[in-house]
Structure formats: structure tokens, C-alpha cells
């Protein structure tokens, strides 16, 4: 496990501390306990290499000084190991159901690679979330290991191994208890059924998903009746629900033409990652305590909406949604991460926005209410084929191509107006070059000549 940790980098759930600094350690313990939990690795630099400056006594003294600074105390599990570069101490901090502060009153949470202090309103929101306890590890009465699908468990273990994780110690049952999927008494938990259940909806009917494809831009048709053409209810363990939801959206997507240099490519209606991130977030971060509501995927002509039951968790707001991270269901998120459906914790919203903008869409629209969170991915109807120009054009040719994109045609006179300080012969050769590259078609002759996109 240590070797795997040292190959990683500081993140939302991993902190490297080069020295046994009690104050920094106390801040990190509180920040992890208030957020998604994490692992503190002491005695290594930011590059993950042991620096040889730590001794077991140093680590123990730092812990002895740091723990009293945490109010209430933070529960930890720590180990020390001697490696080639010196001693390394690992401290596991589980997510806590309590709100923790330092003796000076500061409340911190883990924000990517930093310990971030919270203000008054954010502290109240976090405290309200903490008071609900961990619903995801609640036992589901009447269940046992028999409710788990062995094929799903085997797939999970295989994907986990591919990510460099060691095989679970003590067998699969001990591992299920360790990750919160099963209680020590042998009952399945909420997260256990969601991840590995044969049919979670028997016990958690709210865990299914509804996909609806509407005709037009509104839920109702012209006759006042429901305006959808396809409605599908998706059931099964969470990973199968994600796969089926993605496939439905993909099947209903339109495809448009994109020209990149000499190549014509097909581009889906919405960027793949943006859609996948919206679906994964909705299923991982929804409030599963709300039994009467399910995740809804609504596909209109001009937009895709993914609606997740439950407001934003913890101290999250629309203002800090991109920068901060807090999981309502951290064990569920960890399981999906091990499966490979989440690439890096806490960075999905950033990339979703980047992909939408990169492919010419407006940025995603987020809407939060006390009982729901909605992501809207907007499309542009009836737009002309997108054109992404190769970089082997000169600046003048790029101007010409953009002029063509806006106006549909260009003449020699138009081109001379765009590049007034360039000789007419040079401009003529520019256009000939674009024709030779297969980007333009020459229409007409002599004074009646103009060019269009091929």
C-alpha cells in the first residue's frame, strides 16, 4: 500500500508532509475529517520520495501534540515503516460524522491539495450535513451477502487490481466490511447494495433512473399532452445504470459534421466527457434518503438536463462548485473511483466546462434548490458544420477561412479588403494554395471568380 501511495501525488485525499510539524498535521487531520477523509504520509517530499529526516519518535511527538488541537478529537489509524530513504509514517483519517475545529476555532476542509478555512455560513451548512450521519452505511434490514452479485464483485476486484490496488486481506467479506458495503453482522448496507446488489431497487426503489427523450424544447407537446417520444426506466447496480444511461443518451444524440484541415469528422451533439460527468455526478452525489424521487435524464432538441434529487451537500454552493469538493456519499464515490468511472476526484466539473467550451457549446448551466440539483448542457440547433482549421495556414489564410465561415463565399476583392497591406499576387497565391489543399472550391472565371468552402 505504501508503494502505491508514494507513486501518487497530493490530492483531495492524500497529503504529503515532509516534516513532523504538529500544527500542520493538526490542520490536515481536521480538514480530512470534515471532508471526505484521507491519508497523511509523513516523512516524504511533494515528489513522494522519503527525505530521511523523520524518526519514529518525531512522528509520535507530532501526533501527541496535534491530536489535542482537534475539537472534538479526530479518530485516526497510523503505521510506521522503514524504507530505503528513511522512515515513513502513514495516518489514515476517516470521514467523520462530527464537525471538527481547531483549538483556535478554525474549521477547515480539504480543498484539492490545501486545507481551506470555512466562513460562518459554510460552517453552518457543513454542520447541518454532518448531523444527518452516514446514510450510505446504514444497514438494510433483511439483507445478507446473498443480495450481492458475484459477477459484479469479481468485476470490481479486477478493475481495482488494474489500478494497482493489492488484493483485499482476509477475503471478500472482510473487504466489504472495510469499505462499508456490509456490516459486521452480515447485513448489506445502502452503498453495498448500490455497488454490488443483484437488484438494488428491491430495497432502494429510488436508485433507478428515468430517461425521457422529448420532441421539441418543452416537456409538453402542442396538444397539451406529454411531448416525449421515448421513456425508459433503468434499474440494476449503479455501474450498470451508468452504462445503460450513457448508451441511451448516445443512441439519441445527433451527429454533425466537423472539418479539420482536409478531414471531415463526425462530432456528437454533446462532448462525451461532459455527458458522462453529469451522469456520474448525479448518481454518486444524489441524496438517497429521498425515497420518492429518482435521477431524471431529460433530452430536448436544444439541451440535455440531468436532475439529481437533493440539494448541494455540505458547504457547497453554486459559487464554489468549480473550486471546492464535498461528497455526500464518499464511500460510493470511492467505489466508483476504484472501478475506473471517475478519473480523479474533484476535477470533473472543471473538465466538463472546458470540453463544452472547446467544442463550441455554451458552458454548462447549474441550478440548485434545497431538494434538487440540475445540470443543463445546451446545444446549438441548426448550426452550420463546425470548422477547426489546421495550424499550417498563415495568418492571412486564417482570416479568409473565418470570413468564409461567416459569409459563405469570398472574392479577391474581399480578400484584399481583409489584407490591405499585402500584394494582390500574394493573396491570389494564398487562395490557390487553399484550393490545392482541398479546402476551397473556385467558382467562375476572371472578374466573376469567387471561392466557397469545399
SS3 330: helix
* pLDDT at residue 320, rounded to an integer: 84
Four-CA torsion 316, 317, 320, 323, nearest 10 degrees: 40
Residues forming beta bridges with residue 224, ordered by sequence position: none
Left if phi > 0, otherwise alpha if psi is -120 to 50, otherwise beta: which for 305?
beta
Distance between CA atoms of residues 128 and 122, nearest Å: 10
Q: Residue 258 in contact with residue 453, Cβ under 8 Å?
A: no
Predicted local distance difference test score (pLDDT) of residue 129: 78
Domains annotated on the chain, with CATH: 2-119 (3.30.950.30), 145-203 (no CATH), 206-378 (3.30.565.60), 390-453 (1.10.10.10)
- The reported pLDDT for the residue numbered 344 is 61
pLDDT tens, residue by residue, 236-276:
999 999 999 999 999 999 887 665 555 566 778 999 999 99
Mean pLDDT of 349-356: 86
pLDDT category of residue 179 using cuts at 50, 70 and 90: very high
pLDDT for res 133: 63
Averaged pLDDT, 57-78: 95
Which has the closest alpha carbon to 181: 169, 170, 168, 194?
194
The confidence score (pLDDT) of residue 402 equals 81
288-304 pLDDT per residue, tens: 999 989 999 999 999 99
pTM, entire model: 0.72
The distance from CA 41 to its chain's CA centroid, rounded to whole angstroms, is 25
Q: In percent, how much of the chain has pLDDT > 70? A: 92
Classify residue 447 as exposed, middle or buried by CB count within 10 Å of its CB (0-12, 13-18, 19+): exposed
Q: Is the pLDDT of residue 144 over 60?
A: yes
N-term to C-term CA, the chain: 57
DSSP bridge pairs for 94: none
What's the CA gap between 250 and 264, in Å, rounded? 20
CA of residue 251 relative to chain centroid, distance: 22
Across 325-330, average pLDDT: 86
Measuring CA to CA, which residue among 404, 381, 228 is closest to residue 301? 381
Instruction: Quick: pLDDT tens for 75-113.
Output: 999 999 998 888 999 999 999 989 999 999 999 999 889
Q: How far is CA 306 from the centre of its chain?
A: 14
How far, in Å, CA of 128 to CA of 260, rounded?
51
d(CA 165, CA 179): 14
pLDDT given for residue 341 in this prediction = 85
pLDDT at 143 over 70: yes
pLDDT in tens, 360-395: 888 899 999 989 999 999 997 555 445 555 557 787
User: 336 pLDDT band (50/70/90 cuts)?
Assistant: very high
Indicate whether 353 pLDDT > 70. yes
Sheet with 209-214, strands from edge to edge, namely 228-234, 209-214, 295-299, 303-309, 372-378, 365-369
Yes or no: say if 34 and 72 are a contact pair by the CB < 8 Å rule. Answer: no
Partner residues linked to 369 by β-bridges:
372
- The residue among 43 and 443 whose pLDDT is bigger is 43
Cis peptide before 91 (omega within 30 of 0): no
| Per-residue pLDDT tens digits for 180-238 | 999 999 999 999 999 999 999 999 999 999 999 998 888 876 666 666 788 999 999 99
User: Cα–Cα distance between 410 and 452 in angstroms, integer?
Assistant: 7
Which carries the bigger pLDDT value, residue 70 or residue 400? Answer: 70
More confident residue, 382 or 74: 74
Would you put residue 180 in left (φ > 0), alpha (ψ -120 to 50) or beta? left
If phi over 0 gives left and psi between -120 and 50 gives alpha, with beta otherwise, what is residue 80? Answer: beta
- Report yes or no: 410 and 441 within 8 Å, Cβ to Cβ: no
pLDDT (mean) for 147-167: 91
User: What radius of gyration do the chain's Cα atoms show?
Assistant: 28
Distance CA 177, CA 331 (A): 12
Rounded-to-5 percentages of helix, strand, coil across the chain: 35, 25, 40
What pLDDT score was predicted for residue 322? Answer: 81
Task: Report how far residue 5's alpha carbon sits from residue 83's, in angstroms, rounded to the nearest whole number.
Answer: 13
pLDDT score for 408:
82
Amino acid at each position: 500500500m505504501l508503494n502505491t501511495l508514494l507513486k501518487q501525488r497530493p490530492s483531495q485525499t492524500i497529503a504529503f508532509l515532509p516534516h513532523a510539524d504538529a500544527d500542520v498535521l493538526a490542520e490536515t487531520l481536521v480538514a480530512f475529517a470534515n471532508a471526505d477523509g484521507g491519508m497523511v504520509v509523513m516523512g516524504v517530499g511533494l515528489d513522494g520520495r522519503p527525505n530521511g529526516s523523520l524518526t519514529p519518535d518525531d512522528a509520535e511527538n507530532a501526533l501527541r501534540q496535534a491530536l489535542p488541537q482537534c475539537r472534538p478529537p479526530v479518530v485516526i489509524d497510523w503505521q510506521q515503516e522503514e524504507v530505503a530513504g528513511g522512515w515513513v509514517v502513514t495516518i489514515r483519517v476517516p470521514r467523520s460524522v462530527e464537525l471538527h475545529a481547531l483549538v483556535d476555532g478554525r474549521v477547515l476542509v480539504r480543498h484539492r491539495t490545501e486545507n481551506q478555512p470555512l466562513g460562518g455560513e459554510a460552517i453552518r451548512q457543513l454542520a447541518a450535513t454532518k448531523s444527518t450521519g452516514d446514510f450510505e452505511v446504514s444497514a438494510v434490514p433483511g439483507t445478507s451477502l446473498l443480495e450481492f452479485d458475484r459477477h459484479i464483485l469479481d468485476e470490481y476486484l479486477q478493475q481495482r487490481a488494474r489500478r494497482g490496488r493489492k488484493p483485499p486481506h482476509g477475503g471478500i467479506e472482510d473487504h466489504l466490511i472495510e469499505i462499508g458495503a456490509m456490516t459486521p453482522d452480515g447485513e448489506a448496507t445502502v452503498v453495498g447494495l448500490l455497488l454490488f446488489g443483484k437488484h438494488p431497487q428491491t430495497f432502494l426503489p429510488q436508485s433507478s433512473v428515468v430517461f425521457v427523450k422529448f420532441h421539441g424544447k418543452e416537456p409538453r407537446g402542442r396538444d397539451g399532452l406529454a411531448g416525449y417520444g421515448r421513456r425508459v426506466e433503468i434499474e440494476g447496480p449503479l455501474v450498470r445504470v451508468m452504462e445503460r444511461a450513457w448508451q441511451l443518451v448516445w443512441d439519441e444524440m445527433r451527429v454533425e459534421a466537423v472539418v479539420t484541415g482536409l478531414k471531415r469528422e463526425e462530432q456528437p451533439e454533446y462532448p462525451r466527457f461532459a455527458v458522462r460527468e453529469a451522469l456520474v455526478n448525479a448518481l454518486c452525489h444524489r441524496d438517497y434518503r429521498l425515497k420518492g424521487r429518482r435521477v431524471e435524464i431529460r433530452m430536448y432538441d436544444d439541451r440535455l438536463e440531468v436532475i439529481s434529487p437533493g440539494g448541494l451537500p455540505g458547504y457547497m454552493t453554486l459559487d464554489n462548485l468549480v473550486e471546492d469538493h464535498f461528497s455526500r456519499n464518499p464511500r460510493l464515490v470511492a467505489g466508483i473511483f476504484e472501478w475506473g468511472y471517475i478519473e480523479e476526484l474533484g476535477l470533473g466539473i472543471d473538465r466538463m466546462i472546458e470540453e463544452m467550451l472547446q467544442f463550441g457549446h455554451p458552458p454548462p448551466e447549474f441550478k440548485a434548490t434545497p431538494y434538487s440539483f440540475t445540470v443543463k448542457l445546451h446545444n446549438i440547433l441548426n448550426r452550420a458544420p463546425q470548422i477547426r482549421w489546421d495550424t499550417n495556414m498563415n495568418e492571412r489564410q486564417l482570416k479568409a477561412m473565418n470570413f468564409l465561415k461567416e459569409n459563405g463565399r469570398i472574392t479577391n476583392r474581399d480578400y484584399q479588403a481583409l489584407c490591405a497591406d499585402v500584394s494582390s499576387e500574394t493573396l491570389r497565391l494564398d487562395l490557390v494554395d487553399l484550393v490545392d489543399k482541398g479546402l476551397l472550391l473556385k467558382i467562375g472565371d476572371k472578374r466573376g471568380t469567387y471561392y466557397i468552402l469545399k
